[in-house]
Amino acid sequence: MHLFDLIVLIDDDPINNLINKRLINKLHISPATKDFLEAELALSDIQSKDTQQKLLILVDINMPVMNGWDFLEEYAQSCIGRKDTIIMLSSSIDFQDRQRAKEFPYVSGFIEKPLTFEKLKPLIE
């Protein structure tokens, strides 16, 4: 049984997306994983999904055009009624980023890159 209908990776680094997609697929927690290099495109895709679909969204903080914080603000405005699990995935070691992530009630956690089984497992159980 899958925990999520879809996993959405949002990171402007295609290598990170590839590595993270492979790792996540090994967990067998979703039948599908989609990766996006641009947060705007990911947001559009998420908005097109049925609100009953359960998504796991991993979003990087530092990206051009729309960064992770901008994504969260837009998500809050345009994805009302969704019950997705959102995890910030960042190379940032700044304590303030961790604190800021906690200010968003729909953010379930913060993981420092690189993503590993050990870091992801407690947040999805």
Confidence of residue 56 (pLDDT cuts 50, 70, 90): very high
Pick the range with the lowest mean pLDDT from 7-11, 102-106, 120-124. 120-124
What digits encode the pLDDT tens for the residues 63-93? 999 999 999 999 999 999 999 999 999 998 8
Q: 99 vs 34, 35, 41, 103, 110, CA distance in Å? A: 28, 26, 26, 7, 10
Q: Is 5 exposed, middle or buried (0-12, 13-18, 19+ CB in 10 A)?
A: middle
pLDDT number for residue 121: 85
Q: Look up the pTM and report it.
A: 0.95
Confidence of residue 46 (pLDDT cuts 50, 70, 90): very high
Domain chopping of the chain, boundaries: 6-124
What digits encode the pLDDT tens for the residues 8-39? 999 999 999 999 999 999 989 999 999 999 99
CATH class belonging to 6-124: alpha beta
